[in-house]
Amino acid sequence: MLKKPQMEVEIAGIKLKNPVMTASGTFGYGQEFSPFIDLDRLGAMVLKGITLKPKMGNPPPRIIETPSGMLNAIGLQNIGVEVLIKEKLPYLQKFNTPVIINISGDAIEEYVELASRLGEVSKEMGIAGLEVNISCPNVKKGGMVWGTDAQSTYKIINSIRKATSLPLIVKLTPNVTDIKTIAQAAEEAGADALSLINTLVGMAVDIDSCKPKLANISGGLSGPAVKPVALWLVWQVFLFLAPEVGEQLKTSHPGRESFM
């Protein structure tokens, strides 16, 4: 008789029943997908990125299909932290699945205030940890700016670390020359784990109008086309630091490669 596989893992001190986590930005605030999937079956829910104040995001068109993937330039549209706390998090408390909040901002002070505020309500609202987005490629302020330089990465993560005791998972950008030094800076600044990777910067052109298809001109490339790049960067960071590393993949069978 075959033994039941042991799927439990621990990432950044957060105990998960299995290693299957949603990728921030693809799963909304969890409730939207509850009619289609049993949220209790997930290892963790990483919610859509949140900022201090609500953001409208970029003008449309902001999502287009590409061969073997898609480009998006949503621009971190979200409801803001206070609405998240009051209207979204209470629903998720009924599930036995850790909730990780993805945070972003235009300035270090915004990240710090966000981390502090979420830390205040973490026990009441069941917040297991924070994913720090320093890698969004389609906003004009903040975002990827912080994650493309080791000194900036250290400064922002160290500031957030001082503001909260919640586990910090730092989401890194692939749009750098050497991701290893960025990863090392995040670790030294107090990151508990790393999330690899965010999207690759790309664009698409309408051959009839000779103009970019996205109103934002550029966007983030995701999908199967990104997988080999993600695996290579995870491998580099693993060999350099051997930390807890992860790759955000949404498919099950191809995702096995990421655990090898």
| Extents of the domains making up the chain | 9-64+73-199+226-259
Position 207 pLDDT exceeds 50: yes
Position 260 pLDDT exceeds 90: no
The answer to pTM > 0.75 is: yes
Q: Output the pLDDT for position 244.
A: 46
Position 141 pLDDT exceeds 70: no
Can 136 be counted among the known catalytic residues? yes
Residues 216/138, Cβ–Cβ less than 8 Å? yes
DSSP β-bridge partners for residue 9: 16
Choice among 136, 169, 189, 196 that is catalytic? 136
Assigned fold of 9-64+73-199+226-259: TIM Barrel (3.20.20)
Task: Tell me the average pLDDT across 140-151.
Answer: 76
Report the distance separating Cα 217 and Cα 202, nearest Å. Answer: 9
Position 222 pLDDT exceeds 50: yes
Task: Tell me the average pLDDT across 198-216.
Answer: 96
SS3 readout for the chain? CCCCCCCCEEECCEEECCCCECCCCCCCCCHHHCCCCCHHHCCEEECCCECCCCECCCCCCCEEEECCEEEECCCCCECCHHHHHHHHHHHHCCCCCCEEEEECCCCHHHHHHHHHHHHHCHHHHCEEEEEEECCCCCCCCCCHHHHCCHHHHHHHHHHHHHHCCCCEEEECCCCCCCHHHHHHHHHHHCCCEEECCCCEEEECEECCCCEECCCCCEEEEECHHHHHHHHHHHHHHHHHHCCCCCCCCCCCCHHHHHHC
Task: Tell me the average pLDDT across 85-101.
Answer: 98
Distances (CA, A) of 235 to 26, 121, 148, 230, 259: 24, 36, 19, 9, 11
Task: Tell me the average pLDDT across 129-140.
Answer: 81
Q: Output the pLDDT for position 180.
A: 97
Q: Which two tokens stand for residue 174?
A: 């692939």
Q: Output the pLDDT for position 254.
A: 52
Position 31 pLDDT exceeds 50: yes
Q: Output the pLDDT for position 2.
A: 74
